[in-house]
A and B are shown apart, each in its own frame.
Chain A
Amino acid sequence: MAGLELLSDQGYRVDGRRAGELRKIQARMGVFAQADGSAYIEQGNTKALAVVYGPHEIRGSRARALPDRALVNCQYSSATFSTGERKRRPHGDRKSCEMGLQLRQTFEAAILTQLHPRSQIDIYVQVLQADGGTYAACVNAATLAVLDAGIPMRDFVCACSAGFVDGTALADLSHVEEAAGGPQLALALLPASGQIALLEMDARLHEDHLEQVLEAAAQAAQDVHILLDRVVRQHVREASILLGD
Protein backbone atom coordinates (compact mmCIF):
# COMPACT_ATOMS: atom_id res chain seq x y z
CA MET A 1 0.00 0.00 0.00
CA ALA A 2 1.84 3.03 -1.20
CA GLY A 3 1.91 5.87 1.27
CA LEU A 4 0.90 3.81 4.30
CA GLU A 5 3.72 4.30 6.76
CA LEU A 6 3.71 2.09 9.76
CA LEU A 7 5.71 4.64 11.73
CA SER A 8 5.59 8.31 10.78
CA ASP A 9 8.48 10.74 11.22
CA GLN A 10 6.94 12.11 14.40
CA GLY A 11 6.81 8.63 15.85
CA TYR A 12 3.09 7.90 15.41
CA ARG A 13 1.73 4.60 14.15
CA VAL A 14 -1.16 4.04 11.76
CA ASP A 15 -3.77 4.24 14.52
CA GLY A 16 -2.11 7.17 16.28
CA ARG A 17 -0.30 5.22 18.98
CA ARG A 18 3.32 5.63 20.01
CA ALA A 19 5.81 2.83 19.42
CA GLY A 20 5.53 1.23 22.86
CA GLU A 21 1.88 2.03 23.50
CA LEU A 22 -0.71 -0.70 23.99
CA ARG A 23 -4.24 -0.62 22.65
CA LYS A 24 -7.11 -0.06 25.05
CA ILE A 25 -7.76 -3.19 27.11
CA GLN A 26 -11.11 -3.92 28.71
CA ALA A 27 -11.84 -7.23 30.36
CA ARG A 28 -14.49 -8.99 32.37
CA MET A 29 -14.45 -12.23 34.33
CA GLY A 30 -17.36 -14.54 34.99
CA VAL A 31 -19.19 -13.93 31.69
CA PHE A 32 -20.92 -17.33 31.55
CA ALA A 33 -22.62 -18.87 34.54
CA GLN A 34 -22.56 -22.48 33.41
CA ALA A 35 -18.83 -22.85 32.81
CA ASP A 36 -16.38 -23.31 35.66
CA GLY A 37 -14.50 -20.18 34.66
CA SER A 38 -14.93 -17.67 31.87
CA ALA A 39 -13.55 -14.32 30.79
CA TYR A 40 -13.82 -11.83 27.95
CA ILE A 41 -11.17 -9.41 26.80
CA GLU A 42 -11.07 -6.60 24.26
CA GLN A 43 -7.66 -5.38 23.11
CA GLY A 44 -8.43 -2.56 20.74
CA ASN A 45 -10.65 -4.21 18.12
CA THR A 46 -9.58 -7.76 18.93
CA LYS A 47 -12.22 -9.52 21.03
CA ALA A 48 -11.65 -12.92 22.63
CA LEU A 49 -13.64 -15.15 24.96
CA ALA A 50 -12.12 -17.89 27.07
CA VAL A 51 -13.94 -20.62 28.95
CA VAL A 52 -12.45 -23.16 31.34
CA TYR A 53 -13.95 -26.47 32.40
CA GLY A 54 -12.18 -28.40 35.06
CA PRO A 55 -10.42 -29.96 36.72
CA HIS A 56 -12.61 -32.93 35.92
CA GLU A 57 -12.23 -36.57 35.05
CA ILE A 58 -10.47 -37.40 31.80
CA ARG A 59 -12.95 -37.60 28.91
CA GLY A 60 -12.42 -40.23 26.31
CA SER A 61 -9.72 -42.80 26.93
CA ARG A 62 -8.54 -43.29 30.50
CA ALA A 63 -5.15 -44.24 29.14
CA ARG A 64 -4.37 -40.58 28.51
CA ALA A 65 -4.48 -39.79 32.22
CA LEU A 66 -1.14 -38.70 33.63
CA PRO A 67 -0.40 -40.28 37.01
CA ASP A 68 1.29 -37.28 38.57
CA ARG A 69 -0.34 -34.24 37.03
CA ALA A 70 -3.37 -32.86 35.23
CA LEU A 71 -3.79 -32.91 31.48
CA VAL A 72 -4.31 -29.46 29.97
CA ASN A 73 -6.40 -29.47 26.82
CA CYS A 74 -6.81 -26.30 24.74
CA GLN A 75 -8.89 -25.50 21.71
CA TYR A 76 -8.56 -22.32 19.71
CA SER A 77 -11.51 -21.38 17.55
CA SER A 78 -12.12 -18.20 15.65
CA ALA A 79 -15.61 -17.30 14.50
CA THR A 80 -16.23 -17.33 10.77
CA PHE A 81 -17.14 -13.65 10.88
CA SER A 82 -14.10 -12.64 12.93
CA THR A 83 -11.77 -11.77 10.07
CA GLY A 84 -12.24 -9.34 7.19
CA GLU A 85 -12.62 -12.21 4.72
CA ARG A 86 -15.08 -14.82 5.91
CA LYS A 87 -13.39 -17.97 7.25
CA ARG A 88 -14.86 -21.23 6.08
CA ARG A 89 -14.17 -23.37 9.13
CA PRO A 90 -13.99 -21.98 12.68
CA HIS A 91 -11.59 -24.63 13.93
CA GLY A 92 -9.92 -27.80 12.74
CA ASP A 93 -7.59 -26.13 10.29
CA ARG A 94 -3.84 -26.15 10.74
CA LYS A 95 -3.51 -22.69 12.19
CA SER A 96 -6.14 -23.30 14.85
CA CYS A 97 -4.54 -26.61 15.81
CA GLU A 98 -1.16 -24.94 16.10
CA MET A 99 -2.58 -22.15 18.24
CA GLY A 100 -4.21 -24.75 20.46
CA LEU A 101 -0.87 -26.47 20.97
CA GLN A 102 0.84 -23.16 21.73
CA LEU A 103 -1.81 -22.27 24.30
CA ARG A 104 -1.41 -25.69 25.84
CA GLN A 105 2.33 -25.24 26.12
CA THR A 106 1.86 -21.80 27.65
CA PHE A 107 -0.59 -22.94 30.30
CA GLU A 108 1.20 -26.12 31.21
CA ALA A 109 4.04 -23.86 32.30
CA ALA A 110 1.82 -21.77 34.53
CA ILE A 111 -0.87 -24.02 36.00
CA LEU A 112 0.13 -26.05 39.06
CA THR A 113 -0.82 -29.32 37.44
CA GLN A 114 0.76 -31.44 40.19
CA LEU A 115 -2.16 -30.58 42.43
CA HIS A 116 -4.67 -32.42 40.21
CA PRO A 117 -3.25 -35.78 39.09
CA ARG A 118 -5.24 -37.97 36.70
CA SER A 119 -7.63 -35.16 35.79
CA GLN A 120 -8.19 -32.83 32.84
CA ILE A 121 -8.46 -29.09 32.53
CA ASP A 122 -10.14 -27.81 29.34
CA ILE A 123 -9.45 -24.30 28.10
CA TYR A 124 -11.55 -23.19 25.13
CA VAL A 125 -10.76 -19.90 23.49
CA GLN A 126 -13.07 -18.23 20.98
CA VAL A 127 -11.99 -15.21 18.94
CA LEU A 128 -14.98 -13.03 18.04
CA GLN A 129 -13.14 -10.32 16.17
CA ALA A 130 -9.56 -10.52 14.95
CA ASP A 131 -7.61 -7.30 14.53
CA GLY A 132 -4.07 -8.43 15.23
CA GLY A 133 -2.60 -9.86 18.41
CA THR A 134 -5.06 -12.75 18.60
CA TYR A 135 -2.61 -15.06 20.37
CA ALA A 136 -1.92 -12.43 23.01
CA ALA A 137 -5.62 -11.69 23.55
CA CYS A 138 -6.34 -15.42 23.85
CA VAL A 139 -3.63 -15.94 26.45
CA ASN A 140 -4.78 -12.94 28.47
CA ALA A 141 -8.42 -14.04 28.34
CA ALA A 142 -7.49 -17.61 29.24
CA THR A 143 -5.47 -16.42 32.24
CA LEU A 144 -8.50 -14.57 33.57
CA ALA A 145 -10.73 -17.56 32.89
CA VAL A 146 -8.40 -19.96 34.71
CA LEU A 147 -8.34 -17.56 37.66
CA ASP A 148 -12.13 -17.32 37.54
CA ALA A 149 -12.30 -21.11 37.71
CA GLY A 150 -10.17 -21.09 40.83
CA ILE A 151 -7.43 -23.29 39.37
CA PRO A 152 -4.13 -22.51 41.11
CA MET A 153 -1.45 -20.99 38.90
CA ARG A 154 2.17 -20.14 39.46
CA ASP A 155 1.59 -16.59 38.27
CA PHE A 156 -0.47 -14.63 35.74
CA VAL A 157 0.41 -15.32 32.12
CA CYS A 158 0.52 -12.09 30.18
CA ALA A 159 1.16 -11.97 26.48
CA CYS A 160 1.86 -9.33 23.90
CA SER A 161 3.08 -9.13 20.35
CA ALA A 162 5.89 -6.92 19.05
CA GLY A 163 7.33 -5.93 15.71
CA PHE A 164 10.21 -3.97 14.27
CA VAL A 165 9.95 -1.08 11.81
CA ASP A 166 12.56 1.54 10.87
CA GLY A 167 14.86 0.72 13.75
CA THR A 168 12.08 0.99 16.35
CA ALA A 169 10.38 -1.85 18.17
CA LEU A 170 6.54 -1.62 18.11
CA ALA A 171 4.43 -3.20 20.84
CA ASP A 172 0.95 -4.72 20.38
CA LEU A 173 0.59 -4.99 16.63
CA SER A 174 -2.74 -4.45 14.94
CA HIS A 175 -3.82 -6.34 11.83
CA VAL A 176 -2.57 -3.66 9.45
CA GLU A 177 0.89 -3.80 11.02
CA GLU A 178 0.95 -7.61 11.00
CA ALA A 179 -0.11 -7.77 7.37
CA ALA A 180 2.72 -5.46 6.32
CA GLY A 181 5.05 -8.44 6.53
CA GLY A 182 7.68 -7.31 8.98
CA PRO A 183 9.07 -9.45 11.79
CA GLN A 184 6.55 -10.35 14.51
CA LEU A 185 7.32 -11.65 17.95
CA ALA A 186 4.73 -13.23 20.24
CA LEU A 187 5.72 -13.41 23.88
CA ALA A 188 3.98 -14.93 26.90
CA LEU A 189 5.47 -13.96 30.21
CA LEU A 190 5.06 -14.82 33.87
CA PRO A 191 5.40 -11.25 35.16
CA ALA A 192 6.56 -11.70 38.77
CA SER A 193 9.67 -13.62 37.85
CA GLY A 194 10.03 -12.38 34.28
CA GLN A 195 10.14 -15.97 33.01
CA ILE A 196 9.12 -16.57 29.43
CA ALA A 197 6.43 -19.21 28.89
CA LEU A 198 6.29 -18.96 25.12
CA LEU A 199 8.36 -17.10 22.54
CA GLU A 200 7.67 -17.23 18.86
CA MET A 201 9.00 -15.14 16.03
CA ASP A 202 8.15 -14.91 12.33
CA ALA A 203 10.09 -13.44 9.43
CA ARG A 204 13.69 -12.26 9.37
CA LEU A 205 15.17 -10.11 12.08
CA HIS A 206 18.84 -9.32 12.59
CA GLU A 207 20.03 -10.76 15.92
CA ASP A 208 21.31 -7.37 17.02
CA HIS A 209 17.75 -6.11 17.10
CA LEU A 210 16.32 -9.11 18.91
CA GLU A 211 17.06 -7.79 22.36
CA GLN A 212 15.30 -4.49 21.64
CA VAL A 213 12.17 -6.20 20.34
CA LEU A 214 12.15 -8.69 23.22
CA GLU A 215 12.52 -5.83 25.68
CA ALA A 216 9.55 -4.01 24.09
CA ALA A 217 7.36 -7.11 24.24
CA ALA A 218 8.32 -7.86 27.84
CA GLN A 219 7.58 -4.30 28.92
CA ALA A 220 4.21 -4.43 27.16
CA ALA A 221 3.41 -7.75 28.86
CA GLN A 222 4.21 -6.21 32.24
CA ASP A 223 1.80 -3.37 31.42
CA VAL A 224 -0.86 -5.92 30.53
CA HIS A 225 -0.22 -7.58 33.89
CA ILE A 226 -1.03 -4.35 35.73
CA LEU A 227 -4.35 -4.13 33.89
CA LEU A 228 -5.30 -7.76 34.39
CA ASP A 229 -4.41 -7.55 38.07
CA ARG A 230 -6.77 -4.60 38.41
CA VAL A 231 -9.57 -6.53 36.67
CA VAL A 232 -9.14 -9.52 38.98
CA ARG A 233 -9.14 -7.39 42.13
CA GLN A 234 -12.25 -5.55 40.96
CA HIS A 235 -14.00 -8.85 40.29
CA VAL A 236 -13.10 -10.25 43.69
CA ARG A 237 -14.25 -7.06 45.36
CA GLU A 238 -17.62 -7.26 43.57
CA ALA A 239 -18.02 -10.92 44.45
CA SER A 240 -17.26 -10.33 48.11
CA ILE A 241 -19.75 -7.45 48.26
CA LEU A 242 -22.41 -9.78 46.84
CA LEU A 243 -21.53 -12.39 49.45
CA GLY A 244 -21.92 -9.78 52.14
CA ASP A 245 -18.38 -9.90 53.50
Chain B
Amino acid sequence: MASVALSEAEKVYIMHGVQEDLRVDGRGCEDYRCVEVETDVVSNTSGSARVKLGHTDILVGVKAEMGMPKLEKPNEGYLEFFVDCSANATPEFEGRGGDDLGTEIANTLYRIFNNKSSVDLKTLCISAREHCWVLYVDVLLLECDGNLFDAISIAVKAALFNTRIPRVRVLEDEEGSKDIELSDDPYDCIRLSVENVPCIVTLCKIGYRHVVDATLQEEACSLASLLVSVTSKGVVTCLRKVGKGSLDPESIFEMMETSKRVGKVLHASLQSILHKEESLGPRRQKVGFLG
Protein backbone atom coordinates (compact mmCIF):
# COMPACT_ATOMS: atom_id res chain seq x y z
CA MET B 1 0.00 0.00 0.00
CA ALA B 2 1.31 3.47 -0.69
CA SER B 3 2.63 4.74 2.60
CA VAL B 4 4.41 7.73 3.97
CA ALA B 5 7.41 7.71 6.31
CA LEU B 6 6.71 9.41 9.63
CA SER B 7 9.09 10.21 12.45
CA GLU B 8 8.40 8.98 15.98
CA ALA B 9 7.59 12.49 17.14
CA GLU B 10 4.93 12.90 14.46
CA LYS B 11 3.39 9.57 15.37
CA VAL B 12 3.25 10.51 19.05
CA TYR B 13 1.67 13.83 18.14
CA ILE B 14 -1.06 12.14 16.10
CA MET B 15 -1.72 9.53 18.79
CA HIS B 16 -2.04 12.05 21.60
CA GLY B 17 -4.44 14.09 19.49
CA VAL B 18 -6.61 11.08 18.73
CA GLN B 19 -6.90 10.22 22.44
CA GLU B 20 -8.49 13.67 22.89
CA ASP B 21 -10.82 13.20 19.88
CA LEU B 22 -8.89 15.81 17.90
CA ARG B 23 -7.17 14.87 14.67
CA VAL B 24 -4.49 16.77 12.80
CA ASP B 25 -6.94 18.39 10.37
CA GLY B 26 -9.42 19.27 13.13
CA ARG B 27 -11.88 16.42 12.56
CA GLY B 28 -13.35 14.25 15.28
CA CYS B 29 -12.72 10.53 15.38
CA GLU B 30 -15.94 9.71 13.53
CA ASP B 31 -15.87 12.42 10.87
CA TYR B 32 -15.27 11.85 7.20
CA ARG B 33 -13.32 14.23 5.02
CA CYS B 34 -15.17 16.13 2.34
CA VAL B 35 -16.34 13.63 -0.31
CA GLU B 36 -17.00 14.64 -3.91
CA VAL B 37 -19.05 12.24 -6.02
CA GLU B 38 -19.86 12.62 -9.68
CA THR B 39 -21.49 10.04 -11.93
CA ASP B 40 -21.48 9.56 -15.70
CA VAL B 41 -17.92 10.74 -16.17
CA VAL B 42 -16.89 8.29 -18.92
CA SER B 43 -19.35 8.02 -21.74
CA ASN B 44 -18.66 4.67 -23.38
CA THR B 45 -19.47 2.71 -20.24
CA SER B 46 -22.86 1.58 -18.99
CA GLY B 47 -22.25 3.55 -15.80
CA SER B 48 -19.37 5.36 -14.18
CA ALA B 49 -18.54 7.41 -11.12
CA ARG B 50 -15.67 9.43 -9.75
CA VAL B 51 -15.09 9.87 -6.03
CA LYS B 52 -12.62 12.27 -4.44
CA LEU B 53 -12.13 11.70 -0.71
CA GLY B 54 -9.54 14.23 0.41
CA HIS B 55 -6.71 13.49 -2.01
CA THR B 56 -7.83 9.93 -2.71
CA ASP B 57 -9.17 9.82 -6.25
CA ILE B 58 -11.08 6.82 -7.63
CA LEU B 59 -12.73 6.29 -11.01
CA VAL B 60 -15.08 3.34 -11.54
CA GLY B 61 -16.50 2.23 -14.88
CA VAL B 62 -19.20 -0.44 -15.25
CA LYS B 63 -19.58 -2.23 -18.55
CA ALA B 64 -22.50 -4.57 -19.16
CA GLU B 65 -21.83 -7.44 -21.52
CA MET B 66 -23.81 -10.53 -22.40
CA GLY B 67 -22.51 -13.85 -21.25
CA MET B 68 -23.44 -17.32 -20.06
CA PRO B 69 -24.76 -17.67 -16.52
CA LYS B 70 -22.71 -19.66 -14.06
CA LEU B 71 -23.63 -23.35 -13.80
CA GLU B 72 -24.61 -23.25 -10.13
CA LYS B 73 -26.77 -20.13 -10.58
CA PRO B 74 -28.53 -20.47 -13.94
CA ASN B 75 -31.13 -17.77 -13.27
CA GLU B 76 -28.78 -14.99 -12.34
CA GLY B 77 -26.24 -12.70 -13.87
CA TYR B 78 -23.07 -11.80 -12.01
CA LEU B 79 -20.54 -9.07 -11.27
CA GLU B 80 -16.84 -9.18 -12.01
CA PHE B 81 -14.48 -6.80 -10.25
CA PHE B 82 -11.12 -5.60 -11.44
CA VAL B 83 -8.96 -3.05 -9.67
CA ASP B 84 -6.16 -1.23 -11.46
CA CYS B 85 -3.73 0.65 -9.22
CA SER B 86 -2.45 3.16 -11.70
CA ALA B 87 1.12 4.44 -11.64
CA ASN B 88 -0.38 7.93 -11.33
CA ALA B 89 -0.81 7.34 -7.63
CA THR B 90 2.80 6.48 -6.89
CA PRO B 91 5.74 5.32 -9.04
CA GLU B 92 5.84 2.09 -7.03
CA PHE B 93 2.71 0.98 -8.90
CA GLU B 94 4.48 1.03 -12.25
CA GLY B 95 4.35 -2.17 -14.29
CA ARG B 96 3.17 -4.98 -12.04
CA GLY B 97 3.88 -3.12 -8.80
CA GLY B 98 0.24 -2.32 -8.18
CA ASP B 99 -1.05 -5.85 -8.83
CA ASP B 100 -0.86 -7.04 -5.21
CA LEU B 101 -2.89 -4.20 -3.84
CA GLY B 102 -5.28 -4.45 -6.77
CA THR B 103 -5.94 -8.13 -6.17
CA GLU B 104 -6.46 -7.54 -2.45
CA ILE B 105 -9.04 -4.83 -3.09
CA ALA B 106 -10.78 -6.87 -5.79
CA ASN B 107 -11.04 -9.89 -3.47
CA THR B 108 -12.53 -7.70 -0.75
CA LEU B 109 -15.11 -6.38 -3.21
CA TYR B 110 -16.03 -9.92 -4.25
CA ARG B 111 -16.50 -10.80 -0.63
CA ILE B 112 -18.73 -7.89 0.27
CA PHE B 113 -21.02 -8.57 -2.70
CA ASN B 114 -21.09 -12.30 -2.06
CA ASN B 115 -24.57 -12.47 -0.58
CA LYS B 116 -28.12 -12.68 -1.84
CA SER B 117 -29.30 -9.22 -0.96
CA SER B 118 -26.67 -6.73 -2.10
CA VAL B 119 -27.57 -6.68 -5.75
CA ASP B 120 -30.62 -8.38 -7.21
CA LEU B 121 -28.86 -10.65 -9.69
CA LYS B 122 -32.09 -12.09 -11.04
CA THR B 123 -32.78 -8.83 -12.89
CA LEU B 124 -29.58 -9.50 -14.83
CA CYS B 125 -30.86 -12.74 -16.25
CA ILE B 126 -32.05 -12.70 -19.87
CA SER B 127 -32.88 -16.35 -20.43
CA ALA B 128 -32.12 -19.06 -17.91
CA ARG B 129 -29.01 -21.15 -18.54
CA GLU B 130 -28.27 -19.36 -21.79
CA HIS B 131 -27.86 -15.62 -21.56
CA CYS B 132 -27.35 -13.17 -18.78
CA TRP B 133 -25.80 -9.78 -18.20
CA VAL B 134 -22.33 -9.74 -16.74
CA LEU B 135 -21.40 -6.44 -15.13
CA TYR B 136 -17.68 -5.77 -15.30
CA VAL B 137 -16.92 -3.26 -12.54
CA ASP B 138 -13.49 -1.75 -13.21
CA VAL B 139 -11.93 0.39 -10.53
CA LEU B 140 -9.10 2.77 -11.38
CA LEU B 141 -7.10 4.12 -8.48
CA LEU B 142 -5.68 7.48 -9.51
CA GLU B 143 -4.41 9.03 -6.31
CA CYS B 144 -3.90 7.55 -2.89
CA ASP B 145 -4.25 9.47 0.36
CA GLY B 146 -5.47 6.83 2.76
CA ASN B 147 -8.81 5.10 3.19
CA LEU B 148 -8.88 3.39 -0.17
CA PHE B 149 -11.53 0.80 0.66
CA ASP B 150 -14.15 3.33 1.72
CA ALA B 151 -13.65 5.52 -1.33
CA ILE B 152 -13.74 2.53 -3.67
CA SER B 153 -16.92 1.14 -2.18
CA ILE B 154 -18.63 4.55 -2.41
CA ALA B 155 -17.54 4.83 -6.04
CA VAL B 156 -18.78 1.32 -6.85
CA LYS B 157 -22.16 2.08 -5.32
CA ALA B 158 -22.44 5.34 -7.25
CA ALA B 159 -21.40 3.66 -10.50
CA LEU B 160 -23.93 0.84 -10.03
CA PHE B 161 -26.61 3.46 -9.37
CA ASN B 162 -25.64 5.16 -12.63
CA THR B 163 -25.57 1.93 -14.65
CA ARG B 164 -28.05 1.69 -17.45
CA ILE B 165 -28.45 -1.75 -19.00
CA PRO B 166 -30.24 -1.89 -22.34
CA ARG B 167 -33.53 -3.73 -22.30
CA VAL B 168 -33.51 -6.86 -24.43
CA ARG B 169 -36.21 -9.22 -25.56
CA VAL B 170 -35.78 -12.86 -26.37
CA LEU B 171 -37.69 -13.82 -29.49
CA GLU B 172 -38.37 -17.43 -30.17
CA ASP B 173 -39.26 -18.45 -33.68
CA GLU B 174 -40.92 -21.64 -34.96
CA GLU B 175 -37.82 -23.82 -35.06
CA GLY B 176 -37.14 -23.02 -31.42
CA SER B 177 -33.97 -20.97 -31.99
CA LYS B 178 -33.77 -17.87 -29.88
CA ASP B 179 -32.89 -14.43 -31.04
CA ILE B 180 -32.03 -11.53 -28.82
CA GLU B 181 -33.45 -8.21 -29.80
CA LEU B 182 -32.21 -4.94 -28.45
CA SER B 183 -34.84 -2.32 -27.86
CA ASP B 184 -34.88 0.50 -30.44
CA ASP B 185 -35.06 3.31 -27.95
CA PRO B 186 -31.54 4.01 -26.60
CA TYR B 187 -33.02 5.41 -23.38
CA ASP B 188 -35.04 2.29 -22.65
CA CYS B 189 -32.96 0.55 -20.04
CA ILE B 190 -33.09 -1.25 -16.75
CA ARG B 191 -31.56 0.28 -13.65
CA LEU B 192 -30.23 -1.59 -10.67
CA SER B 193 -31.55 -1.01 -7.22
CA VAL B 194 -28.66 -0.05 -4.98
CA GLU B 195 -30.68 0.11 -1.75
CA ASN B 196 -28.81 -2.81 -0.26
CA VAL B 197 -25.38 -2.26 -1.79
CA PRO B 198 -22.95 -2.08 1.12
CA CYS B 199 -20.23 0.47 1.74
CA ILE B 200 -17.01 -0.30 3.53
CA VAL B 201 -16.17 1.64 6.68
CA THR B 202 -12.53 1.30 7.68
CA LEU B 203 -11.69 1.85 11.33
CA CYS B 204 -8.05 2.24 12.25
CA LYS B 205 -6.98 1.61 15.79
CA ILE B 206 -4.66 4.35 17.02
CA GLY B 207 -3.67 4.00 20.67
CA TYR B 208 -6.85 3.17 22.63
CA ARG B 209 -9.30 4.79 20.23
CA HIS B 210 -10.30 4.14 16.67
CA VAL B 211 -10.72 6.61 13.83
CA VAL B 212 -12.86 6.63 10.75
CA ASP B 213 -11.43 7.76 7.39
CA ALA B 214 -7.74 7.78 8.24
CA THR B 215 -5.30 9.78 6.15
CA LEU B 216 -2.00 8.27 5.02
CA GLN B 217 -0.25 9.70 8.08
CA GLU B 218 -2.81 8.23 10.46
CA GLU B 219 -2.62 4.85 8.73
CA ALA B 220 1.12 4.89 9.35
CA CYS B 221 0.44 5.27 13.09
CA SER B 222 -2.12 2.53 13.31
CA LEU B 223 -1.13 -1.10 13.69
CA ALA B 224 -4.47 -2.73 13.10
CA SER B 225 -7.64 -1.82 11.23
CA LEU B 226 -11.05 -3.30 10.86
CA LEU B 227 -12.91 -3.23 7.56
CA VAL B 228 -16.65 -3.45 8.06
CA SER B 229 -18.98 -3.62 5.11
CA VAL B 230 -22.34 -2.22 6.15
CA THR B 231 -25.57 -1.57 4.24
CA SER B 232 -27.88 1.42 4.57
CA LYS B 233 -30.05 -0.46 7.06
CA GLY B 234 -27.11 -1.21 9.30
CA VAL B 235 -26.68 -4.84 8.25
CA VAL B 236 -23.08 -6.02 8.26
CA THR B 237 -22.16 -8.12 5.22
CA CYS B 238 -18.44 -8.59 5.71
CA LEU B 239 -15.86 -8.09 8.43
CA ARG B 240 -12.14 -8.21 8.02
CA LYS B 241 -9.17 -7.31 10.18
CA VAL B 242 -6.08 -6.02 8.42
CA GLY B 243 -2.71 -4.91 9.66
CA LYS B 244 0.16 -6.45 11.52
CA GLY B 245 -1.03 -5.58 15.03
CA SER B 246 -3.68 -7.35 17.09
CA LEU B 247 -7.10 -6.32 18.34
CA ASP B 248 -8.89 -7.52 21.46
CA PRO B 249 -12.51 -8.68 21.12
CA GLU B 250 -13.89 -5.71 23.12
CA SER B 251 -12.42 -3.26 20.61
CA ILE B 252 -13.85 -5.24 17.74
CA PHE B 253 -17.39 -4.98 19.09
CA GLU B 254 -16.97 -1.30 19.79
CA MET B 255 -15.65 -0.69 16.31
CA MET B 256 -18.54 -2.58 14.78
CA GLU B 257 -21.04 -0.39 16.62
CA THR B 258 -19.22 2.72 15.42
CA SER B 259 -19.18 1.46 11.87
CA LYS B 260 -22.93 0.81 11.88
CA ARG B 261 -23.59 4.31 13.16
CA VAL B 262 -21.21 5.96 10.73
CA GLY B 263 -22.31 3.73 7.86
CA LYS B 264 -25.96 4.73 8.15
CA VAL B 265 -25.08 8.41 7.95
CA LEU B 266 -22.75 7.78 5.01
CA HIS B 267 -25.41 5.88 3.10
CA ALA B 268 -28.05 8.52 3.77
CA SER B 269 -25.90 11.36 2.46
CA LEU B 270 -24.71 9.34 -0.53
CA GLN B 271 -28.29 8.47 -1.49
CA SER B 272 -29.40 12.07 -1.23
CA ILE B 273 -26.51 13.30 -3.38
CA LEU B 274 -27.10 10.65 -6.03
CA HIS B 275 -30.80 11.43 -6.21
CA LYS B 276 -30.11 15.16 -6.38
CA GLU B 277 -27.66 14.64 -9.23
CA GLU B 278 -30.16 12.41 -11.03
CA SER B 279 -32.90 14.99 -10.67
CA LEU B 280 -30.80 17.56 -12.52
CA GLY B 281 -31.39 15.39 -15.57
CA PRO B 282 -29.41 15.24 -18.82
CA ARG B 283 -28.80 19.01 -18.79
CA ARG B 284 -26.50 18.67 -15.82
CA GLN B 285 -23.13 20.24 -16.48
CA LYS B 286 -20.50 17.55 -16.32
CA VAL B 287 -17.33 18.64 -14.62
CA GLY B 288 -15.15 15.54 -14.48
CA PHE B 289 -11.47 16.37 -14.13
CA LEU B 290 -11.82 19.84 -15.61
CA GLY B 291 -13.33 21.43 -12.52
Which residues of A line the B interface, CB within 8 A?
A: 26, 28, 31-35, 38, 40, 42, 45, 47, 49, 51, 53, 59, 73, 75, 77, 79-84, 86, 90-92, 122, 124, 126, 128-129, 131
Select B290's contact among A33, A34, A42, A131, beta carbons within 8 Å. A42
Do A51 and B55 touch (CB < 8 A)? no
Do A124 and B86 touch (CB < 8 A)? yes
Q: Which chain A residues border B41 with CB–CB below 8 Å? A: 128
Do B140 and A28 touch (CB < 8 A)? no
Do A90 and B84 touch (CB < 8 A)? yes
User: A31-B289, A81-B138, A126-B86 are known contacts. Are A59 and B91 too (CB-CB below 8 A)?
Assistant: yes
Do B63 and A49 touch (CB < 8 A)? no
Do A81 and B94 touch (CB < 8 A)? no
Binary A-proximity of B26-68 (CB < 8 A = 1, otherwise 0): 0000000000000001111100100000010101011101000
Q: Tell me, rounded to whole Å, the shortest Cβ–Cβ distance linking A50 to chain B.
A: 9
What interface size band does chain B fall in?
Answer: 20 to 34
Do A80 and B290 touch (CB < 8 A)? no
Q: Which chain A residues border B144 with CB–CB below 8 Å? A: 34
Chief secondary structure at chain B's binding surface: mixed
Tell me if B143 is interfacial: C-beta within 8 Å of chain A.
Answer: yes
Do B290 and A122 touch (CB < 8 A)? no
User: A40-B290, A86-B65 are known contacts. Are A128 and B84 too (CB-CB below 8 A)?
Assistant: no
Which residues of B line the A interface, CB within 8 A?
A: 41-45, 48, 55, 57, 59, 61-63, 65, 82, 84, 86-89, 91, 94-96, 136, 138, 140, 142-145, 288-290
Select A32's contact among B63, B87, B88, beta carbons within 8 Å. B88
Q: Could you say which of A92, A122, A129 has the most chain B C-beta atoms within 10 Å of its C-beta?
A: A129
Nearest A residue to B137 by beta-carbon distance? A81
Q: Which chain B residues border A122 with CB–CB below 8 Å? A: 87, 91, 94
Q: Tell me, rounded to whole Å, the shortest Cβ–Cβ distance linking A137 to chain B.
A: 13
7 A-B pairs with C-beta separation under 8 A: A35-B88, A47-B288, A81-B44, A81-B62, A82-B42, A90-B84, A128-B59
Do B136 and A129 touch (CB < 8 A)? no
Do B94 and A75 touch (CB < 8 A)? yes
Q: Tell me, rounded to whole Å, the shortest Cβ–Cβ distance linking B253 to chain A.
A: 36
Q: Which chain B residues border A40 with CB–CB below 8 Å? A: 289-290
Q: Tell me, rounded to whole Å, the shortest Cβ–Cβ distance linking A149 to chain B.
A: 13
Q: Which chain A residues border B140 with CB–CB below 8 Å? A: 79, 90, 126, 128
User: A32-B143, A86-B136 are known contacts. Are A81 and B88 too (CB-CB below 8 A)?
Assistant: no
Q: Tell me, rounded to whole Å, the shortest Cβ–Cβ distance linking B148 to chain A.
A: 14
Do B87 and A77 touch (CB < 8 A)? yes
Q: Which chain B residues border A81 with CB–CB below 8 Å? A: 42, 44-45, 48, 61-63, 136, 138
Do A33 and B63 touch (CB < 8 A)? no
Do B143 and A34 touch (CB < 8 A)? yes
Select A84's contact among B44, B62, B96, beta carbons within 8 Å. B44
